[in-house]
Amino acid sequence: MGTAASIGNDDEDLGSAEPCKVCNTRETSARCEACDKVLCVDCCPHRNKLFQARAVVDRNEPIIYRRKTPLKIRITCGTYNPRQDQLNVACELFFKDKHCNVTSKWEIYRTTQKKKNASFDQVSKRAHETERSFKFVGDMCSTSRGTSYFTFPCQKSVYKLDSSSGFSLAFETDGSCFGIASFLGGLALSIEIPTNFHAGSPWQVRWCDSKGTVKRQIYCGDNEQAYFRAPYYLCSNTTEDTLYVSDQENNAIYIFDAKCVLIKKITDSTLTNPRGVACDGSDNVYIACETKVVQLQRRGLAARTLLELKKPEVAMDVCFDVSQRKLIVIQQSGMITVFNMMTTPPGRSADGAKTARF
């Protein structure tokens, strides 16, 4: 599902159809701004991951790179929009300018399986790597109506993206909002509100409407002990009446019903630093846990490691295409892997995988 794209500044850099300067054999070559050499795809370290050179139909046709290649890429989250058959991914890109200062910017990529080229919306400003005041994307979700929502913790705001109004501010929050999910016709948000009082935990999960009006809050149980410590990611089931909260510091998954009552807290040994979470249409839950993807079967009655990644790869988020039964694993380095899940009973592994650099 992932596709290659070139991003950065708008300065054109005309490549060449001459042979690669390393292997001296491949005709499909282009000038890499980072290497300052004409290299093929296999020999260029900057183009064998997220950015790939397109094939040259005519040997005399130059390859055009309109945007600068970043030093590194870091992905935080993604969401699959079934209404538009579209995958949204939030990337942080790091660049080095002519003064050797490292700057970064955030961009949201949108792509579908039907299109070869990825389109994207810029939603950020350049800032020094040590400066954390620039806005970054905390989590994403897509509703059944085809609208995608994004949280920006530093801005304490939620943005939306739809086909009619484009990218716009949905509402602001009184705390730093991280996780988000479509829930009960509205949205569920995980929010951090620091206080000088002994409140147990600054974290809470809210159920609100699409304009941000709070309908219910979740922060502690009957024993008055706080539930959450770092609920960075949320998701709901296909009917949007069950909420799943991924708590990274507690190494736990919380399940809440339509009345925002805790059904179960899952603390299986396979859950290590859980991040993004997704559901299929059969009450199975998938969690990105660093170097593996964990599957919780039948609302947590059984847990198993479904996929394992090779280090240093890190799984940041997962999405699920219910209609086509495809599991999408989003890695921090920019790799998007799509698995065709088997419809056979639990216990069988994923069947077939398609991998691409986003």
User: pLDDT tens digits for 243-296?
Assistant: 999 999 999 999 999 999 999 999 988 999 999 999 998 889 999 998 999 999
Look up the CATH number of the domain holding residue 321.
2.120.10.30
User: pLDDT tens digits for 9-33?
Assistant: 333 333 345 667 666 665 544 556 5
| Gap between the Cα atoms of 91 and 45, Å rounded | 19
Residue 255: its pLDDT value, please?
A: 95
Domain count, the chain: 2
Residue 65 sits in the same domain as residue 81: no
> Quick count: other Cβ atoms within 10 Å of Cβ 232?
24
Residue 62 sits in the same domain as residue 133: no
**Per-residue pLDDT at 357 exceeds 60:** no
Residue 64 sits in the same domain as residue 189: no
**Per-residue pLDDT at 343 exceeds 50:** yes
Residue 36 sits in the same domain as residue 165: no
Amino acid letter, residue 10: D
* DSSP state, residue 223: T
Residue 49 sits in the same domain as residue 120: no
Residue 308 sits in the same domain as residue 231: yes
| Gap between the Cα atoms of 266 and 269, Å rounded | 10
Residue 83 sits in the same domain as residue 61: no
Residue 358: its pLDDT value, please?
A: 45
| Omega of the bond leading into 312 within 30 degrees of 0 (cis) | yes
Instruction: Tell me whether residue 102 is in a domain.
Output: no
User: pLDDT tens digits for 57-83?
Assistant: 333 333 333 346 677 788 889 999 888
Place of tokens 């069950």: 242
Domain extent at residue 152: 76-88+110-357
Residue 51 sits in the same domain as residue 139: no
Instruction: Tell me whether residue 99 is in a domain.
Output: no
Instruction: Tell me whether residue 94 is in a domain.
Output: no
User: pLDDT tens digits for 41-58?
Assistant: 556 654 443 333 333 333
Spell out the alpha helix ranges (H) of 91-243. Answer: none
Residue where a domain stops, chosen among 19, 39, 69 = 69
Residue 154 — φ and ψ, nearest 5°?
-70, -30
Per-residue pLDDT averaged across 169-175, rounded? 93
